[in-house]
Structure 1
């Protein structure tokens, strides 16, 4: 029987932050953000979380079609 590894919350947060930064700097995200609102300024980390989450959700919904 295989053992189950419980994810480390700190490691998960580090992975998410790394992915979030990579996505935020991608040309696809930048284009999506400029299409959504030309004047969006991301000042808080939670703003970036919300924007990246919305971007990923829309991308997955588009791929589902």
Structure 2
């Protein structure tokens, strides 16, 4: 009996949530977030999606050099 791949593969939201949690717990992200947070002196809670996206964008731009 063959199981369709789509039925067993996680959807993109599940993959993003898992990846986001892993990145958020990494020491590199924690250091980056600490630096950004203190530089901007933010008092409101941060949007984790936006922070991880910005972190990944900056990391990729740095690697592109």
Equivalence for 1:13: 13
Q: Compare CA radii of gyration and give the structure with the larger one.
A: 2
- Number of matched pairs: 56
Moved over 3 A (4+): 39-44
TM-score, with structure 1 as normaliser:
0.73
Of structures 1 and 2, the one scoring higher in RCO (CA 8 A, sep 6+) is 2
Extract unaligned runs of 5+ from structure 2. Answer: none
Extract unaligned runs of 5+ from structure 1. Answer: none
TM-score, with structure 2 as normaliser:
0.73
